[in-house]
């Protein structure tokens, strides 16, 4: 593993918000997912069925949050609809989570 994933993970921990999954504290950068962006990860049917708003969460490469996990963040409970590893040069550098309000 190169130093890139560790550097990005350190930045996410420094700049991100804390959240909990199964009482375990984790960190990520939260942003509202534009419909076009959410449809990159979800089918049209999945997107239409999702409660709004839909969130895109960037987490460190080694985060273990999985699809269907529930995230407690900022007084909300979100359900992870999709968890995708983002790679550069074949190496996972971050994970993107798509989640919707439960």
- Please name the residue ranges forming H helices in 1-102: 4-15, 35-41, 44-49
Please tell me the predicted confidence (pLDDT) of residue 100.
98
Taking 80 as the threshold, does the pLDDT of residue 63 lie above it? yes
The total of structural domains in the chain comes to 1
Question: What is the tens place of the pLDDT at every residue in 43-60?
Answer: 999 999 999 999 999 999
Taking 80 as the threshold, does the pLDDT of residue 81 lie above it? yes
Residue 35, class by beta-carbon neighbours within 10 Å (0-12 exposed, 13-18 middle, 19+ buried)? Answer: exposed
pTM attached to this predicted model: 0.94
Sign of CA pseudo-dihedral 16, 92, 31, 56 = negative
Q: Which domain holds residue 52?
A: 4-101
CATH number of the domain residue 90 falls in: 2.40.10
pLDDT confidence band for 2 (50 / 70 / 90): confident
């Amino acid at each position: 593993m190169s130093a890139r994933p560790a550097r990005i993970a350190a930045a996410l921990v420094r700049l991100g918000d804390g959240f909990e999954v199964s009482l375990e504290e984790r960190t990520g950068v939260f942003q509202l997912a534009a419909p076009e962006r959410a449809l990159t990860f979800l089918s049209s049917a999945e997107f239409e069925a999702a409660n709004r708003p839909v969130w895109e969460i960037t987490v460190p490469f080694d985060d273990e949050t999985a699809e269907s996990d529930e995230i407690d963040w900022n007084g909300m409970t979100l359900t992870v609809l999709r968890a995708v590893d983002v790679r550069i040069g074949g190496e996972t550098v971050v994970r993107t989570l798509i989640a919707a309000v439960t």
